Structure 1
């Protein structure tokens, strides 16, 4: 009889644990793309924090397609998520997805890139304007006040590209630097290489390049190496590959973000809000220049 009672208790305990696991609250994180080391690191930070806090985290990749982004957000709303974290493909296009969540009273937080509409609980990101200015100031320090520079822009319409460019132009206008050209390479390495190749031919006297992310910067490095020219390149993000390239002397510097911390803070902030806590509209994540001097 004692063995039977023990068995019944074990079954009941197992059932309770199973129900508890099934009842675990869900969050979703929708990325603009996971074909980028920066966002893969952000995903890791979010997943580790969600596990620690007891949330089931649904991860979706929009593949840089605003239509897929909207479809991903629709999918999360039917999967019973309590909050949606979103890294927008485009600051304008994401508004429809955010408003969909707003109508269903699902809180939304944006990561790294902001949104130009809809109701957002909190935006967690580095100060891209400050980072762009840091890149420009570093180029002045390395090349001089009259440096001839090229800018490789990110995806047009994203807050990250707009703000990094704005900060860089603050540095340009505050010095005697000459901006020879500024063109989008879509935050992609291959595009960074091809765009840089064309810009080098049109601007053979360029001395420095600022790329809005490390992927484009690494592409630019390939084009510069193939040309045989000596041009310093400054990236943005501080990805593992970017930092390694700095250590190898390929990149001159990268303005380092902390993508794992952005992901972690996103989940922590969403959890705090869901539990009734007050959260800030904007949570800045510190930046630093990693360089070989």
Structure 2
């Protein structure tokens, strides 16, 4: 169903109020800045302060240049209301395809439905959109498998059992929900001796993970955990700092992360961190952009593409997509 004139005026006012031009994130692909030309492809990232999405944006810029396509980038700043408003405004501005990494997988369902009603194709990347009337095509890693890979490492490394702390990322995001599911399934398969002794969110933030880990280690000083599983690498950096500050060696409390960012890879190389799950952000966003361009040029419906995550350790560092960035 198309929007009424009143509804369209409301959204045009929203565009003006939000200032949703190139300044909201930038127009890529060699086009003029300043918002004079509408972008047919809009990409909304949930939070461009996170290293994973910074890398994904860089890969997007490169692919947009190769394809010769103009792309507008928006940063939701981890705010679902802002992301929904951004997407509604993008539709008014004439976007034909929206690629979105949702702040909250369920919160964006209605917005996805409304965009579809206006003929705007939606593709989710990294995180699914859950609850839309029609399934939203998704490009991303299998996060359940990624979480299970972390748990499988624990079970293999500690055959007699282990005390495990899980630090989760953004509540409500499909990536967090699915990674937690994989961790729980993998540890449960190992048996009753694999115990999650603490599970808390740090909202994907390094400083929050530092505080969470400090509090956990203080409360468990006499019986510290064997392993800390962090569901993104920025949080793993915070956990490592807390472990070191508490006087524990990397062998005493082992830290695993998720995303295989260069800083984590460097820590693995140095023996300070044991592993991180590679989910190839570059391949995710490049694939999503190619699907978007195909939709615009040929009308082909975007397809879902699932990537297989890989647990990166010191034994297979060369397989990490960003290993060339490690000094």
Query: TM-score, normalising length from structure 2?
Result: 0.79
Q: Is the 8 A contact 1:258 1:286 kept in 2?
A: no
2:300 aligned with 1:277: yes
Rg: which structure is higher? 1
Paired residue secondary structure (2:96): strand
1:251 aligns with 273
Structure 1 stretch displaced more, 83-92 or 66-75: 66-75
Q: 1:184 to 1:24 in 2, by over 3 A?
A: closer
Following TM superposition, the consecutive aligned residue runs of length 4 or more in structure 1 with deviations greater than 4 angstroms are 22-25
Paired residue secondary structure (2:47): coil
Q: Is the 8 A contact 2:123 2:302 kept in 1?
A: no
2:18 aligns with none
User: Counterparts of 1:72 and 1:138 in 2: how far apart (Å)?
Assistant: 40
2:180 aligns with 165
Paired residue secondary structure (1:183): strand
Deviations 1:22-76 (A, max 9, x none): 9896200000010011111111222222222221100000000111101211221
2:102 aligns with 88
Q: 1:23 to 1:32 in 2, by over 3 A?
A: closer
User: Counterparts of 2:242 and 2:176 in 1: how far apart (Å)?
Assistant: 22
Q: Is the 8 A contact 2:96 2:119 kept in 1?
A: no
2:161 aligns with one of 130, 146, 155? 146
User: Counterparts of 1:105 and 1:252 in 2: how far apart (Å)?
Assistant: 46
User: Counterparts of 1:151 and 1:276 in 2: how far apart (Å)?
Assistant: 43
1:215 aligns with 234
Paired residue secondary structure (2:139): strand
Unaligned runs of 5+ in 1: 1-17
Give the root-mean-square deviation of aligned CA atoms.
1.8
2:287 aligns with one of 261, 265, 271? 265
Paired residue secondary structure (1:238): coil
- Higher relative contact order (CA closer than 8 Å, sequence separation 6+): 1
2:48 aligns with 34
Q: Is the 8 A contact 2:127 2:173 kept in 1?
A: yes
User: Counterparts of 2:39 and 2:68 in 1: how far apart (Å)?
Assistant: 8
Instruction: Say how many residue pairs are matched.
Output: 272
Deviations 1:144-170 (A, max 9, x none): 340111000111111001100000111
Q: Is the 8 A contact 1:26 1:80 kept in 2?
A: yes
5 Å matches for 1:1-293?
26-118=40-132, 119-175=134-190, 176-204=193-221, 205-229=224-248, 230-274=252-296, 275-280=298-303, 282-292=304-314
Structure 1 stretch displaced more, 204-213 or 134-143: 134-143
Deviations 1:104-147 (A, max 9, x none): 11000000011112245410010000010100111222333401
Q: 1:23 to 1:198 in 2, by over 3 A?
A: closer
User: Counterparts of 1:250 and 1:271 in 2: how far apart (Å)?
Assistant: 42
